[in-house]
Amino acid sequence: MNLCRKILLVVLLISIQPLFAQKKKKNTPNNPQNNSHTIKKIQYKDATYENNVKTVQLYQDNQQLTYPILFLNQPGQLTLEFDVLNGTAENFYVTVVHCTHDWEDSGLIPNEYLTSLNNDIIVNFRSSLNTLTPYIHYQYRFPNENLGIKLPGNYLLKVFRNQDEDDIILTRRFLVSDQTVFVNGIINIATSASIRNQAHQIDMSIGFSRIRKKMMFPVQDLKVKIMQNHRWDRMMEVTHPTIISDTSFIYDGFASNLTFDAINEFRRADVRSITQYSNQVRKVYQQDSMFYTVLFTDMPRSRQKFVTFIDFNGLFYIDVQGRKGDPDIACEYQTVIFTLNSEPIPDSEVYVVGAFTDWQLRPENKMQYDEITQVYQSKILLKQGIYDYLYVVKSIKDNNVNHTLLENNYSECQNFYTVLVYYRPIGGRADFLSAVQMLRFGR
């Protein structure tokens, strides 16, 4: 009898051993889905935290080609949209974090800057319709009755899974201003003869009489920043007013060195249709349940003359042609092949950048050089639409990014500039955004 029991015990242990091994495997660092909490560190910038999260947009109301800016006590909402590829519908939640002027957590607790709950669930989601690449499209609009904002400042929108704020899906920056500071400015071609053909100069004044009593030392307490085309990688902090009075600052662009390289008009990839090619598309083919869109080969513009082109200043627009239905769920995903005919650039890396890459240099938008064809090439998964882009060069030695080596630099180029004014009141614990002013050079 004892021998039979021992045999049964051995058989039982052998039969359940795979179950223990499976459970152990689920908890290993090699399984990010179940061990995601240890690898998802919040980034206070535009970022996605899972590879199947694509086409993230945050814009005003229903206007895709706008920047994520809200004005306190004024009507208007922001729309968040994103896709999760090859997945099933999940419970995603939204919250916002108040940040300092330099994008760190301000330390304020949610009930200090929110009017209601500190998180809300995304209830608007739909499956794609008849697409080779299946996806779930999510949409969320705020402020709303469940998520309202009562303080101005920099904010980070955070989307997370199943009410677990450590299981982050994506983060996006947005701005909320109370417009209590007045900004007046103009963009000119740079005054300095050495950069006159390549740069823009900002001349402006700032009036802060409405908040003067809330600051002890305005020169220190006011933070002024300028962005080119709403790009956080193209931003400068303005530190030296030319003329100072008790309630205003004046900045002479030449004296204060407020200049930006104008760069060039953006290149464009119109990939709205897989049957009717735009003048940027050479061919489209299907392989292994995926559409491949091959763009015409680009050339460096370093020796080309300036050509005026109406662009989106780096933004992208989701749309479909030749197919009926809502673009949000009817658009196909496609691998878009970018090709640049250029000699190899020593000790450097070449990237395709635009709003669709969050203006960041990531492995997926890095170009590889082909010694046989002598071209740089990159294959990027994109939803049907229109995409603005540029080619940039990153030095391996010092990580400096050059925007003009392949694109050239022309003062005739049209750009948007966003002036941001922050202040911290006497005894305050957070930076408030008191002005967002858009300035434009060109048409």
User: Per residue, what are the HEC states of 66-106?
Assistant: CCCEEECCCCCCEEEEEEEECCCCCCEEEEEEEECCCCCEC
Identify the CA nearest to 29 among candidates 38, 18, 40.
38
H helix or E strand, kind and range, residue 402: strand 401-402
Per-residue buried b or exposed e for 90-129, using 16+ beta carbons within 10 Å of the residue's own CB? eebbbbbbbbbbeeeebebeeeebbeeeebbebeebeebe
Report d(CA 402, CA 181) in Å as an integer.
Answer: 34
The predicted structure's pLDDT at residue 24? 35
Q: Give the Cβ contact number of residue 173 at 10 Å.
A: 19
Query: C-alpha angle with apex 108: 104 to 110, nearest 5 degrees?
Result: 115
Question: What one-letter code names the amino acid at 357?
Answer: T
Can you tell me which residue has the tokens 């997945």? 87
Q: What is the DSSP letter of 65?
A: T
- The pTM of the whole model exceeds 0.85: yes
Torsion of CA 239, 241, 245, 250, to 10 degrees: -130
Q: Tens of pLDDT along the chain (443 residues)? A: 444 444 444 334 444 444 333 333 333 333 334 444 456 899 999 999 999 999 999 999 999 999 999 999 899 999 999 999 998 999 999 999 999 999 999 999 999 999 988 899 999 999 999 999 999 999 999 999 999 999 999 999 999 999 999 999 999 999 999 999 999 999 999 999 999 999 999 999 999 999 999 999 999 999 999 999 999 999 999 988 999 999 999 999 998 899 999 999 999 999 999 999 999 999 999 999 999 999 999 999 988 899 988 999 999 999 999 888 899 999 999 999 999 999 999 999 999 999 999 999 999 999 999 999 999 999 999 999 999 999 999 999 999 999 999 999 999 999 999 999 999 999 899 999 999 999 999 86
Q: Residue 66 to residues 125, 296, 407: CA-CA distances in angstroms?
A: 22, 28, 24
> β-strands 375-383, 385-395: how paired?
unpaired
Can you tell me which residue has the tokens 């957590």? 105
CB 112 within 8 A of CB 104: no
Report d(CA 322, CA 271) in Å as an integer.
Answer: 11
CB 283 within 8 A of CB 277: yes
Report d(CA 102, CA 154) in Å as an integer.
Answer: 9
Provide the sign of the torsion angle of the four alpha carbons 79, 85, 91, 92, taken in this order: negative
Backbone angles phi, psi at 209, to 5 degrees: -60, -30
Can you tell me which residue has the tokens 């299907």? 286
CB 381 within 8 A of CB 317: no
Name the token pair of 346. 């020593």
The predicted structure's pLDDT at residue 443? 67
The predicted structure's pLDDT at residue 234? 97
β-partners of residue 439 are: 417
The predicted structure's pLDDT at residue 3? 44
The predicted structure's pLDDT at residue 13? 40
Domains in the chain, ordered, with CATH? 38-177 (2.60.40.10), 182-262+414-441 (2.60.40.150), 267-402 (2.60.40)
CB 195 within 8 A of CB 184: no
CB 251 within 8 A of CB 204: yes
Identify the CA nearest to 155 among candidates 423, 360, 433.
433
Name the token pair of 155. 């904010």
Name the token pair of 263. 């760069």
Question: Where do the DSSP E strands lie in 229-303?
Answer: 235-238, 243-244, 248-251, 259-261, 267-270, 281-286, 291-295
Identify the CA nearest to 267 among candidates 403, 411, 361, 363.
403
